[in-house]
A and B are shown apart, each in its own frame.
Chain A
């Protein structure tokens, strides 16, 4: 049987800088250039303005693979690896610069929960509108209507405008509509990162149902557990190129290992050479260093509850006092568990400075549950991120006797010191 999706040398190029900001997308310049075009040969000394060279960047480069019917594929990669671009091309939202895709079967994509929801419309109205936007026929929506409402648990609020919904209800309704799509190929982008945990479970259950039903599914997520659970095959993208294609488990392993390659050796992580970053005024972040109790370099892993000290080296290009540093800790599900930001520091620096700086962030007791966390680091000027690196480092938290009872903590995202008392019983014998 022929594959349902055939991708051949798919590439997508974006030109940054040329659009929106300056250059030719300025209407005035376009008018001026059009109007002066016939006279340009005569105006020798008036050179056309020197334009900033557009920054050409390949979001996808030469991607080829086949997908057979019934494949459930997880697509993994860091932010900016090209996952979303790939899904957008397959969904026909944008077209590739080179290459082609042959598709056999009706495709529906869910790149965002609640696309096209209108706050002024009621739940009932939005179900129909959103369904139609996602490509369902009116009759299909009507047929699934009761199921959708039951799944979303919004029976009582069907005729209330969704602007009065809680964010949880909103997300539930939006996912419920999408979950009842009935295409041959389904594309899903990171939609499980929303909603509360119990609803996420419900969504995962629904996704599992869909994938077991012989449907072809492409699934992007930072939630490695979900990928491992749902997918049979995994594809890892890195900077627009396909770098791994195989079993889901192996793909996850490959991806997690690739994260540590940026981290350099031991507790010192050089950031200068990291290309995978968002920089506005150049590469300012230089280096990170990790320490645990007693200034011990953090090499192996951090025992739960012990101290974490992160030292960040960076450059300030000009004299300023309005700079801040942030550290974000994400779990393997891609969920932000904790953000440390220098703005939260009461004794904040006020003196203006420039040049190389070193700041340290001390977390006396790092109480996230055992597991792996990726660390995002960024530098703010005023309130804009001037330089930021997702997944700059990876730290491992190890089990330890946090409560001093010999019992290893289980279940939950973090541990907190707590006490239990037996109060005087009110009516004992």
Chain B
């Protein structure tokens, strides 16, 4: 008999995230990510191309509507590059939040029939989308070559802001997916929130377009810093350390509180899903 011993009892209140257990199940997380990658573009004609097409088409639309018609200017680089560098992390975030918030419901069977850290379900959905982000960044490299736009040393910051995007997406995903189990309203609210998010985040316009007194709003928006940071890292756009720093801090806060909220609510998932 193994020395393994475990006590199951009533669970109530706030508890810290169980890292030891997550580590024990790490292979499953890898499998869930792999599954989501495998099935996402099954039975589509274009397959993985969609990962690139989404931000690319978005870029062209924004370029036409906001640059050509509404004369929105970038903060230096050509507007197409500017829009694309913002859209890549934004698309990642928006799709992550949409998919992860619905992930528990989409995997009802898993929730009610097997045990493993439930947090892997929303996390797996987000992990799979990182692959899409990677491909869309490859296309950006092609665009940079096309425009002969130089890469600066700031590219070293890219992993940091990617992590910021992951933390923000995961934190929101944890909270929304957990709430979605009891309140199906979330399913209808998320698309609006994501749509609104696009406009309050400087994706289409540079952060400097906002008047000074509204800049504070950007620093509490976790994605504002990520988008500004991506442009700084990829295009050498001017950095705004106050926005980037506080956004990152908010992302970390969102992630940690997401872990706690999810842990508190996961207890009831199997009973009410």
Could you tell me which A residues sit within 8 Å of B by CB distance?
Answer: 1, 4, 14, 19-20, 25-28, 30, 69, 88-106, 109, 111-112, 115-116, 118, 120-121, 125, 128-129, 132-135, 137-138, 184
Contacts and interface: CB of A to CB of B under 8 A. Distances in A.
Most buried by A among B109, B115, B270, B272: B115
A101 B7 contact: yes
Contact of A104 (B1, B34, B113, B114): B1
B38 interface: yes
Interface stretch (B8-16, B52-60, B86-94, B147-155): B8-16
B5 A102 contact: yes
A92 B118 CA distance: 11
Contact of B182 (A25, A96, A101, A104): A25
B110 A115 contact: yes
Contacts of A4: 1
A69 B4 CA distance: 14
B9 A121 contact: no
Contact of B35 (A88, A115, A121): A121
B35 A118 contact: yes
Contacts of B270: 88, 93-94
Given A94-B270, A121-B35, A106 B4 contact: yes
Contacts of A133: 28, 31, 110, 114, 116
Given A27-B185, A93-B270, A95-B8, A109 B35 contact: no
A109 B8 CA distance: 15
A112 B7 CA distance: 24
B98 to A, nearest CB: 18
A96 B1 CA distance: 26
A99 B115 CA distance: 20
Nearest to A1: B1
Contacts of B6: 102-104
Interface string B248-273: 00000000000000000001001110
Interface of B: 1-2, 4-11, 27-28, 31, 34-35, 38-39, 42-43, 107, 109-116, 182-183, 185-186, 267, 270-272
A20 B114 contact: no
B10 to A, nearest CB: 6
A191 B165 CA distance: 43
Contacts of A88: 270
Contacts of B272: 19-20, 25
Contacts of A101: 7-9
A183 to B, nearest CB: 10
Contact of B5 (A104, A121, A137): A104
Nearest to B6: A103
Given A100-B9, A112-B109, A116-B109, A92 B39 contact: no
Contact of B113 (A14, A98, A115): A115
B1 A100 contact: no
A94 B115 CA distance: 9
**The 10 A-B residue pairs with the shortest CB-CB distance in the complex, in nearest-first order:** A27-B185, A100-B9, A27-B183, A132-B31, A101-B8, A94-B270, A92-B115, A115-B113, A95-B11, A120-B42
Contact of B8 (A19, A103, A115, A120): A103
A118 B31 CA distance: 12
Contacts of A19: 182, 272
B11 A105 contact: no
Contacts of A99: 9-10
Contact of A95 (B1, B27, B39, B267): B267
Contacts of A116: 107, 109-110, 114
Contacts of B182: 19, 25
A93 B271 CA distance: 9
Contact of B28 (A25, A89, A132): A132
Contact of A132 (B27, B183, B271): B27
B9 A95 contact: yes
Nearest to A20: B272
Contacts of B43: 120
A106 B115 CA distance: 13
Contacts of A95: 8-11, 267
Contacts of B115: 91-93, 109
B7 A100 contact: yes
Contacts of A112: 109, 113
A121 B42 CA distance: 9
B196 to A, nearest CB: 18
Contacts of B27: 132, 137-138
Given A90-B8, A103-B5, A184-B4, 5 more contacts: A88-B270, A93-B114, A96-B10, A125-B38, A184-B2
18 contacts: A1-B1, A25-B182, A27-B183, A27-B186, A95-B267, A96-B9, A99-B10, A100-B10, A101-B8, A104-B2, A106-B4, A115-B113, A115-B114, A120-B38, A125-B35, A129-B31, A133-B31, A135-B116
